[in-house]
């Protein structure tokens, strides 16, 4: 009898071949007349052809990013197999990533993501606000599977490497203007200078604004939060607004081919309104609460949204938020000889954020005295973080061996939590006169200082021209010192731990167009404490085998990866009341959940049947089994716990046509992209709270389809103009994507509404 895993593998393998199925999304810019072009990635901390890298990696080019509407890291969901990015409490500001069945949250201070995020080689500190914009992305690389040797700590599920533009040394001006529905207006300006001797520079600016897609029935409510240091705040008219400005600058000093220094700076300021939360189910039987609910419905202050995105919700507790981020990067490259080169990457980043979100969707309830009544009111997130890092790399290349070695030091400070009197969640309370009072019992503030030091080396021994043996090792020391205030209680903790990770593998290339690889690797996410709860380091041992094939004179590219990984001491981040009554006062809790076994596959295909056509697609499947649940912590009982926020299946497909020149160099480009995932569980507790709430237990499966039709390379006075029509979520998928449940109700956020618009792009 064929097991469910084997059946899934067979279906996926056939599907990836049968679909016009995404091996390399960067291929759209690199196509040659003869087929798929070469794609350069830095998945092993040095530049290599994608097809020579024994890592499951998807490279996404600027064109593919634009076609899919990717302006921040939150937008990459399903662009690579077995990857999802979804909203959680706080909306797109706090994305939750799932890679091969493992969540990469890390939003709570002192905790870390299982998915490492890097900008030009600089690690982005876990914590608040990873969904910032970057106006000069060169490409995005999504690595799947543990990267514990070269990328180090906190990359047990994978890594996302964002590569920004370097100055080219040639004068250039690039201007994009976008207008769309929901009053969207976006402009991107990029200027490059010619070389001044060894110096060249680049500067880019983006402004992006739009209204949200859900009206707020609680608009205009003024909250007096003066006592907690926030002054008076007004609930907005629409939910999901964005008003963001981003700058990027780069300066390159290159006196010779053997020496190069690049300094980069990015800055982003996003004023936004959190996305709308709708009321899915209301099941309270308390007479006073039921009366308040019925009055709000009758008065039109509240409506039940259900499982599909509504036009309006009442999120009167929600107020506008802000996130600011900035980063410095100084990279020095020195080539000592034909075989040896050095690189040093220094980085400094800081982030601050503030927001209040009504996550129950049940605004508008009133007491008999006319005061607002909060069922499960809000999540207040206020935080700041700073981090500096320095990494030294040595690369050696010879006919016998390729070696990458080095060391990295990281120091970070994170402080987060709601202001005094606004601790995370309000349960069943009224707020007289719409005034938040200072209350020491509601203090939840956490501060953590982390220092990490690591040394690493990875070598490829070229045994024959066809056969490589790979070995890698990394040793890491993590130290954390923190304090947490929960009400009148203060918890202090320290953490000091040494961990080793390693990799062993083999690569076989029978010819220039084929590579087969197999490897065993390990990784870890550092442990620590969250208030009164200690949590252990999360560790992983992973097997992976794969093939990277260029076929039929490079008109077909097929990449396949099979994996089997076992995670011990899996870390989980959740709300205190979901763990049990003992922790109901804690808005967020991090604890050791149990052990997880995942196995699955990823297949990616690119087909270039002619110089005019390109077809891309991918399929990913992950089978997940949770065991040894920590029932001493998770009081709901191990037998009642289920994994949530993970999709078993993901897929995407794209078809692109580019015409021959119609007049001058002008050509038509038409492209359609579809991203799909299977249903995704929302609640970790089984059975669900009530039969009525069970309807919201899953975010349904479905496609999100985008398209673009452009007339490009229009010659105007020797300059290039492009005019494009685009649409995202063309079929207006309105599914529930994130739900929060308590015994009396379910609140949810939804897929963003269909957006359409026009791009005008000018280059000279």
User: What pTM was computed for the model?
Assistant: 0.91
Q: Where are the alpha helices (DSSP H) in 466-621?
A: 576-579
pLDDT of residue 17: 42
Nearest to 164, CA basis, from 119, 208, 124, 102 = 119
Distance between CA atoms of residues 110 and 530, nearest Å: 7
723 neighbors 680 (Cβ within 8 angstroms): no
Q: Which domains does the chain have, with CATH numbers?
A: 4-763 (2.40.170.20)
Q: What is the pLDDT of residues 676-697, one digit of tens each?
A: 999 998 887 655 566 777 778 8
Q: Where are the beta strands (DSSP E) in 28-144?
A: 40-41, 48-49, 56-60, 83-88, 91-99, 102-104, 115-119, 122-123, 137-144
Q: What are phi and psi of 97, to 5 degrees?
A: -100, 140
User: Mean pLDDT in the chain?
Assistant: 86
Distance between CA atoms of residues 298 and 369, nearest Å: 17
Q: What is the pLDDT of residues 495-538, one digit of tens each?
A: 999 999 999 999 999 999 999 999 999 999 998 877 677 888 99
Element (H, E) at 693: helix 691-694
pLDDT of residue 701: 95
Element (H, E) at 510: strand 489-511
User: Is a pLDDT exceeding 90 seen at residue 237?
Assistant: yes
pLDDT of residue 4: 53
Q: Which residue has the higher pLDDT, 185 or 160?
A: 185
pLDDT of residue 579: 62
pLDDT of residue 129: 55
């Amino acid at each position: 009898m064929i097991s469910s895993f084997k059946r899934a593998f067979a279906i996926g393998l056939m599907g990836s071949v049968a679909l016009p199925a995404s091996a390399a999304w960067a291929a759209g810019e690199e196509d040659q007349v003869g087929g798929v072009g070469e794609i350069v990635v830095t998945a092993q901390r040095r530049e290599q052809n994608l097809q020579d890298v024994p890592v499951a990696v998807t490279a996404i080019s600027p064109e593919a990013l634009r076609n899919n509407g990717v302006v921040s890291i939150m937008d990459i969901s399903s662009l690579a197999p077995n990857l999802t990015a979804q909203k959680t409490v706080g909306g797109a500001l706090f994305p939750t990533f799932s890679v091969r069945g493992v969540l990469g949250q890390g939003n709570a201070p002192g905790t870390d993501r299982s998915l490492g995020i890097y900008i030009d080689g600089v690690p982005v500190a876990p914590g608040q606000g990873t969904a910032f914009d970057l106006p000069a992305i060169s490409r995005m690389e999504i690595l799947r599977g543990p990267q514990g040797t070269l990328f180090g700590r906190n990359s047990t599920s994978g890594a996302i490497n964002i590569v920004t533009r370097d100055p080219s040394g040639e004068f250039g001006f690039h201007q994009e203007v976008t207008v769309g529905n929901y009053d969207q207006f976006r402009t991107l300006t990029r200027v490059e200078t010619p070389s001044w001797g060894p110096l060249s520079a680049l500067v880019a600016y983006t402004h992006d604004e739009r209204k949200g897609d859900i009206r707020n029935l609680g608009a205009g409510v003024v909250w007096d939060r003066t006592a907690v240091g926030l002054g008076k705040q007004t609930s907005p008219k629409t939910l999901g607004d964005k008003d963001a400005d981003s700058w990027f600058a780069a300066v390159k000093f290159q006196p010779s081919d053997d020496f190069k220094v690049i300094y980069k700076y990015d800055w982003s300021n996003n004023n936004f309104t959190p996305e709308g939360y709708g009321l899915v189910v209301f099941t309270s039987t308390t007479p006073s609460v039921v009366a308040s609910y019925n009055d709000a419905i009758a008065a039109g202050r509240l409506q039940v949204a259900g499982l599909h995105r509504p036009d309006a919700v009442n999120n009167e507790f929600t107020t506008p938020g802000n996130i600011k981020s900035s980063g410095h990067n100084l990279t020095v490259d020195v080539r000592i000889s034909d075989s040896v080169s050095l690189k040093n990457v220094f980085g400094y980043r800081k982030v601050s954020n503030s927001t209040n979100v009504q996550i129950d969707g049940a605004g508008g309830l009133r007491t008999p005295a006319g005061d607002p009544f909060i069922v499960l009111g809000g999540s207040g997130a206020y935080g700041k973080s700073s981090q500096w890092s320095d990494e030294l790399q040595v690369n050696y290349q010879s006919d016998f061996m390729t070696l990458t070695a080095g060391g990295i030091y990281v120091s970070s400070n994170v402080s987060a939590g709601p202001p005094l009197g606004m601790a995370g969640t309000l349960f069943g309370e009224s707020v007289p006169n719409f005034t938040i009072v200072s209350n020491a019992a509601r203090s939840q503030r956490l501060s953590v200082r982390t220092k990490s030091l690591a040394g690493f080396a990875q070598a490829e021994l070229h045994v024959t021209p066809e056969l490589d043996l790979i070995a890698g090792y990394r040793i890491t020391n993590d130290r954390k010192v923190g304090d947490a205030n929960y009400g009148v209680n203060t918890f202090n903790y320290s953490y000091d731990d040494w961990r080793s990770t390693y990799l062993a593998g083999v690569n076989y290339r029978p010819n220039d167009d084929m590579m087969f690889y197999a490897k065993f690797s390990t990784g870890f996410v550092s442990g620590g404490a969250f208030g009164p709860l200690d949590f252990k380091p999360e560790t992983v041992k992973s097997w992976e085998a794969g093939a990277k094939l260029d076929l039929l004179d490079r008109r077909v590219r097929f990449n396949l990866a099979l994996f089997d990984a076992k995670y011990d001491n899996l870390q989980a981040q959740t709300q205190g009341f979901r763990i049990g009554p003992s922790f109901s006062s804690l808005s967020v809790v991090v604890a050791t959940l149990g052990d997880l076994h995942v196995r699955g596959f990823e297949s990616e295909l690119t087909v270039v049947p002619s110089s005019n056509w390109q077809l891309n697609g991918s399929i990913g499947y992950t089978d997940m089994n949770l065991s040894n649940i920590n029932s001493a912590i998770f009081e709901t009982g191990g037998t009642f716990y289920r994994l949530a926020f993970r999709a078993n299946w993901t897929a995407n497909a794209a078809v692109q046509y580019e015409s021959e020149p119609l007049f001058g160099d002008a050509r038509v480009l038409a492209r359609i992209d579809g991203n799909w995932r299977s249903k995704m569980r929302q609640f970790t507790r089984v059975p669900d709270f009530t039969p009525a709430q069970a309807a919201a237990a899953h975010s349904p499966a479905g496609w999100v389809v985008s398209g673009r039709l452009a007339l490009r390379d229009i010659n105007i006075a020797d300059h290039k103009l492009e005019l494009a029509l685009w649409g995202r979520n063309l079929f207006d998928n309105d599914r529930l994507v994130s739900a929060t449940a308590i015994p009396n109700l379910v609140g949810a956020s939804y897929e963003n509404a269909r957006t359409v618009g026009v791009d005008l792009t000018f280059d000279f």
